[in-house]
Structure 1
Amino acid sequence: MKNSLAYPIWIIALVCTFLMSSCESNEGVIFSPQDDIKLGQQVAHEVDSTYQAKGQLLNRTSTNANVQQAYASLDRIVNRILNSGEIKYRTEFPWTVNIINDDETLNAFATPGGHIYVYTGLIKFLENEDHLAGVLAHEIAHADRRHSVRQLQRDYGIAILLSVALGNDPGTLKQIAAQLGGTLAGLKFSRDAESEADAYSVRYLGGTNYYACDGAAGFFIQLNQQAQQGTPPEFLSTHPNPDNRIENIQRKAQQEGCKITSAADTDFKELKAAISKL
């Protein structure tokens, strides 16, 4: 009789190999960082294709001067964080950042392996560069601390994720991309993961010696004010709000003894001006 298992035997063998390896150095993830990269490449390709089809992904190769300016400004902000000396997988992950032209969505998200996406709605909503840096640092932490792949591992199982990473499960790939992009219910991180991402955002921004290391707190203050006026922004829907989040970020900044004075808004202003002309 033909084997009725849902996955080929070679995938099961791969799963067994991963299960036998130690997880202690992998942040509790059975996947290796190299598999984060493979999975992230597949998911990022699907996300890119989805938003390109909608005409919403700002293409980095565009000859539009405003698009070029937007990415030049955004890259300077992101690179200050990545070069903070605090990113564990700084050299392993590709660390790309893309802009989705959707003014109605106040959100950002990260795939495994370091692909970051931010919506124009969030950029236009924010008030200063420290707040945007706080959002980006938070999303970088989700990838660098491997929260995305850990949650996907729980939601889908190892065998399915391995199949997706190898390009053998396009249906699940589309579902994962839609979850991360918020077009479905969103990838729901645990409160522990959210708290860790907040704490590491402080460390990352502190390492820049440029941004206020509690920049994420200002971002959440502004989000909470928006939430009190009506429907909670997408970011709070896809990123559960741990108790005392703002206070915890500010307390972490005090413990770290890092800079809490505001940085110049030069790149942020150039970024906002560029996307306002699209």
Structure 2
Amino acid sequence: MKYSALYLYLLLFAPLLISSCDRNGDIVIFSPKEDVALGAQVNQEILNNPDEYPVLSEEEYPEAYKYLRAITEEVLSSEEVQYKDIFAYDSIKIIQNDSILNAFATPGGYIYVYTGLIKYLDSPDHLAGVIGHEIAHADQRHTSKMLQRQMGIQLLLDIALGQNQGAVTQVLQQLGSLKFSRSAETESDAFSVAYLSSTPYACTGAAGFFEKLEEEASGSGVPTFLSTHPNPDNRIENIRQAAEEMACDTTPSGSDILQKLQNSLPN
């Protein structure tokens, strides 16, 4: 008798599924290590497509990566980031496209930030808030759950096990069009506040970023970030309320690291 990979997987690991739930109790079939395996293949697909995803070389732009990683490391210092020793957060990459205001994360914590977004921001607190928000999407496994619903467990498992390389492109296409739920966005915003509360950056950094995005949206259409990260009602207010409840520091950092990062990017 033949058994599918999914059947065998569930047969072996069904007793452990109860431990693979997220903090809201939703079942996530993949283990965190399988998230990393899936993310690694998507990451390679991105690197193999420089025309569509022109990732800046770290050898050519070491200063840019130094500053970006310094901000990321501050965010990762939070004890609230549960998979920081497993996920690939420290491999954060910059995609050169000044016309796109966006950032995204794959399962397993591979994070990408567009030069358009970095150059658009006014404060390192805002960038730290965005990075925290993307880390939260990966750490709370929002992306994995949405891909699981849209593509099916079997296909994702085959990709993670290296048995269907042709489908990696489908995952990447899905990532480009994913629209997170209201609850996922609210949760990621709240975790961004928590992550930043232990850093030199204002814990409401994401709120400042969203304020500027809203101003942009009222003028020339919806920015890319808001098209992939829908804007729930009272988002800014909720971030500020979370900061008040956590009693974390909302004072702007005054750091010049964002300016140094912007200056180290290609024109």
TM-score, L = length of structure 2: 0.93
Whether 2:79 is the aligned partner of 1:88: answer no
1:39 corresponds to which residue? 38
Q: 2:168 aligns with which of 144, 149, 173?
A: 173
Shift of 1:59: 1.5
| Structure 2: unaligned runs, 5 residues or longer | none
Q: Is the 8 Å Cα contact of residues 18 and 30 (structure 1) preserved in structure 2? A: no
The 8 Å contact of residues 73 and 267 in structure 1, kept in 2 or not, is answered as: yes
Residue 130 of structure 1 corresponds to which residue in structure 2?
125
1:99-118 matches, within 5 Å, as: 99-118=94-113
Deviation at 1:20, TM superposition (A): 4.2
Mapped to 2, the partners of 1:265 and 1:178 lie a distance apart of 36
Give distance in 2, aligned partners of 1:54 and 1:245. Answer: 31
Correspondent of 2:139 among 144, 148, 154: 144
Shift of 1:193: 0.7
Is it true that 1:14 corresponds to 2:13 in the alignment? Answer: no
1:204 and 2:165 correspond: no
Change (3 A) 1:83 1:70: same
For 2:183 and 2:133, the matched residues in 1 are separated by: 13
Aligned: 1:267 with 2:263: no
How many equivalent pairs are there?
Answer: 262
Contact 1:131 1:218 in 2 (8 A): yes
Distance in 2, Cα, partners of 1:142 & 1:104? 23
The residue that corresponds to 1:245 in the other structure is: 235
How does the TM-score come out when normalised to structure 1?
0.89
Q: Deviations 1:223-265 (Å, cap 9, x if unpaired)?
A: 1110000220111011111111100000000000000000133
Native 8 Å contact 2:39 2:108 kept in 1: yes
Secondary structure at 1:56 match in 2: coil
Identity %: 46
Verify the 8 A CA contact 1:19 1:30 in the aligned structure 2. no
- Output the CA distance in 2 between the equivalents of 1:242 and 1:205: 21
2:66 corresponds to which of 58, 67, 72: 72
Find 1:59's aligned residue among 50, 54, 57: 57
How far the C-alpha of 1:18 sits from its partner, in A, is 4.1
Q: 1 CA distance for matches of 2:29 and 2:218?
A: 40
CA distance in 1, matches of 2:92, 2:20: 27
Kindly provide the amino acid, as one letter, of the partner of residue 196 in structure 2: L
* Counterpart position of 2:220: 230
SS of equivalent to 1:23: helix
Separation of aligned partners in 2, 1:270 and 1:259 = 24
RMSD between superposed Cα atoms in Å: 1.7
CA shift, 1:54, in A, is 4.5
Q: Distance in 2 between matches of 1:18 and 1:152?
A: 20
Q: Which amino acid aligns with 2:81?
A: I
- Structure 1 contact 100–120 (Cα < 8 Å) conserved: yes
